[in-house]
């Protein structure tokens, strides 16, 4: 067996998506730490509250589906991967940050 086989296309796609979401996490933290005027703080406030609302909604949905599956099928509730949660929050934050930057003109 040749150990130097090429990675399949879906492997490259996975790694590209992973590093893209990791970069979005970095953008999220850098944008939060930058100083600015009142308009910039307003944009960050709106983007943060939007991502927090989406994050809480996602967790609430997971809890409801887990409890429903536990009651109806006897399947125990599984743990959620914290990396997936962080990257989801970063993705929602970056999308809402771009939206509010365009809306309020930063």
Q: What is the pLDDT of residues 30-59, one digit of tens each?
A: 877 777 778 888 888 898 899 899 989 988
pLDDT value at 1 more than 60: no
Average pLDDT over residues 11-33: 81
Percentage with pLDDT > 70 across the chain: 95
Which residue did the predictor score with more confidence, 75 or 17? 17
Whether 4 maps to a domain, the answer reads no
Percentage of the chain modeled with pLDDT above 90: 6
Domain assignment present for residue 68? The answer is yes
Say how far apart CA 11 and CA 32 lie, in whole Å. Answer: 32
- Number of domain units in the chain: 1
Do the domain assignments include residue 2? no
Which residues touch 94 (CB under 8 Å, ≥6 apart)?
A: 24, 27, 28
Question: Residue 2 pLDDT more than 70?
Answer: no
C-beta separation of 51 from 87 below 8 A: no
The stretches of 2-81 forming alpha helices (DSSP H) are 9-33, 38-73
- Structure-token pair, residue 44: 């960050």
Report yes or no on 81 lying in a domain: yes
1 inside domain: no
Write down the pLDDT at residue 66: 83
CA dist 77 and 9 (Å) reads: 33
Q: Please list, in sequence order, all residues whose beta carbon lies within 8 angstroms of the beta carbon of residue 63, skipping any fewer than 6 positions away.
A: 77
Q: Tell me, yes or no, whether 6 lies in a domain.
A: no
**How far is the C-alpha of 4 from the C-alpha of 88, rounded, in Å?**
34
What is the residue range of 90's domain? Answer: 11-104
Look at residue 16 and tell me if it is in a domain. yes
For the chain, the average pLDDT equals 82
Instruction: Give 76 or 12, the one with higher predicted confidence.
Output: 12
């Amino acid at each position: 067996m040749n150990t130097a086989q090429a990675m399949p296309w879906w492997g490259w796609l996975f790694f590209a998506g992973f590093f893209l979401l990791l970069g979005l996490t970095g953008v999220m933290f850098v944008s939060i730490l930058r100083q600015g005027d009142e308009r910039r703080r307003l944009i960050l406030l709106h983007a943060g509250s939007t991502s927090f609302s989406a994050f809480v909604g996602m967790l609430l949905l997971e809890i409801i589906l887990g409890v429903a599956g536990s009651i109806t099928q006897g399947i125990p509730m599984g743990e959620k991967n914290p990396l997936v949660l962080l990257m989801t929050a970063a993705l929602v934050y970056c999308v809402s940050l771009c939206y509010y930057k365009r809306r309020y003109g930063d």
